[in-house]
A and B are shown apart, each in its own frame.
Chain A
Amino acid sequence: MQSKMSRVTRAYLLPAFTLVGVLIVWEALYLIFQIPQFVIPAPSGIFVETWEWKYRLIGHTWVTLYETIGGFALSVGIGTPLAVMLVYNPTLRNALYPLLVIAQSVPKVAIAPILLLVLGAGEVSKIVVAFLVAFFPIVVDTATGLAGTPAELIDLSRSYRASQLKTFIKVRFPMALPFFFSGLKVAITLAVIGAVVGEFVGSDKGLGYVIVAATSYWKAKLAFGAIIILSILAIVLFEIIVVIERIVCPWYGSEQQH
């Protein structure tokens, strides 16, 4: 019990205290040096301004959220089957993998304007940008996990004359789940970034748009507020995946703790 308490203290209370400390020092520096609000606002100022805009910010948050989730869902829906095909079909792997690596090295931020040109300034183009940035880690991690199945287990399944499909469902995919989830965790964070980049390039909705618009009107407090909401959004989405991972493969998490 004692050790559990101290773990909670270490994991949550200490960082929380640090954050509060930073905010107090920040507020104090602002009061002492009288920094202009439009350059770097004080925490209290950010809070007040964000609170005033709360209803409109909820709307913008919702837009960024569904663009993120749309892009993420697409990348899972396309990336996972693709990873399976790459692992099971060596010809396809040889044909596609080098292209995927090249595609990955293209900076997605750079092609965002083109995508907007092609797909329009609506949500679809943001979903596609989010998909493009989130897709690669899912393919690579899932493929790595599937390829890492111990050869002995595959031999064992073959000697029992189990079908490829059965071996996949009963052995290979569950074995790859920890890798799949680490891909998902990277992907969800990248999907948020993708959606915001898409909004930066051109939109009239979403938290990315709020940041661009607010800064161009010297509303630094609102811009900071939008950034904080965006961070919270990313953290919450990430934590949701962590929770799902713990439910789906509890054996893995407890293995790591040892």
Chain B
Amino acid sequence: MIQIEKVSKIYRTQENEFVPAVAEVSLEVRENEFVTLVGPSGCGKSTILKLVSGLIPVTGGTIRVREQLVQEPFPDVGFVFQQPVLLPWRTVLGNILFSIEMLGKKEKEFENRAGDLIKLAGLEGFENKYPRELSGGMQQRVAICRALIHDPSLLLMDEPFGALDAMTREEMSFELLRIWEERRKTILFVTHSIPEAILLADRVVVMTPRPGKIERIFEIDLPRPRVYEMEFNERFKALNSEIRSLIFSSRKEGS
């Protein structure tokens, strides 16, 4: 589904300095795979999402999505960010249909689909509410629906639960898994939380900072559907501590 080959990205600052954000990253993501990217701040996790979506060009290497070389933005992606960034003047339904409108498609034809998504995301009865009337978790559900309404094959999530409180965060992880079970997508998911990364993913990609490189990739062989109790499972704990020590040791080397 996604082939990232020896991709590097160098940003040019306003002072004309060159800052390497990611270097020599190679990664292959299978169709309908759930891949999480973890690592400390500044390891270029978000940059990888932007590169894959074509929002910013690569400095070196190539990215292919479904055999197509990525050179510009393409609409077959759904984005979810850390902040819900909903439009305050639109209702829940209006915000979900925003994607359709921006894609230049007819909103009418997607109303049924929006209804299904609203049901799936547990937003029934909130269709005509405005974002300010919703909690942070509910707003993020709307943002997820907005990312799914045009049925993209690729979902890019940039710390989507990072701004939520711990309890809502855990709840939303399971909600996302439930939605994903129903609507299979290829997901690239960036997070700071190691347990979250393990709980969600088929594979966890651990990155090191400055410039961002892939340190190691962990296959998560925990059975699906994932449940809350798995966090007390020996395999889960082992993975958690292994990834933790990997990130912390690379941090020490860096400094």
Contacts and interface: CB of A to CB of B under 8 A. Distances in A.
A249 B101 contact: no
Interface stretch (A42-50, A127-135, A250-258): A250-258
Contact of A249 (B73, B81, B83, B89): B89
Contact of B102 (A152, A157, A174): A157
Interface string A167-202: 100110011000000000000000000000000000
A255 B55 contact: no
Given A152-B81, A152-B85, A251-B89, A160 B132 contact: no
A156 B88 contact: no
Contacts of B87: 153, 171, 174-175
Contacts of A159: 53-55, 73-75, 77, 79
A162 interface: yes
B104 to A, nearest CB: 7
A156 B132 contact: no
Nearest to B132: A255
A228 to B, nearest CB: 39
A150 B79 CA distance: 14
Interface in B150-190: none
B43 to A, nearest CB: 20
A155 B77 CA distance: 12
A251 B133 CA distance: 10
Contact of A162 (B83, B85, B88, B102): B102
B79 A170 contact: no
Contacts of A252: 88
A155 B55 CA distance: 7
B210 interface: no
B73 A254 contact: no
B85 A160 contact: no
B130 interface: yes
Contact of B132 (A158, A170, A174, A254): A254
A166 interface: yes
B140 interface: no
10 contacts: A150-B85, A156-B79, A160-B75, A161-B75, A161-B103, A162-B103, A162-B104, A166-B102, A167-B102, A251-B130
Interface of B: 50, 53-55, 73-75, 77, 79, 81, 83, 85, 87-89, 98-99, 101-104, 130, 132
Given A252-B88, A258-B132, 8 more contacts: A152-B81, A157-B102, A160-B75, A160-B103, A161-B75, A170-B98, A175-B87, A255-B88
Give me the 4 closest cross-chain CB pairs, A-B, nearest first. Answer: A160-B102, A162-B102, A152-B81, A251-B88
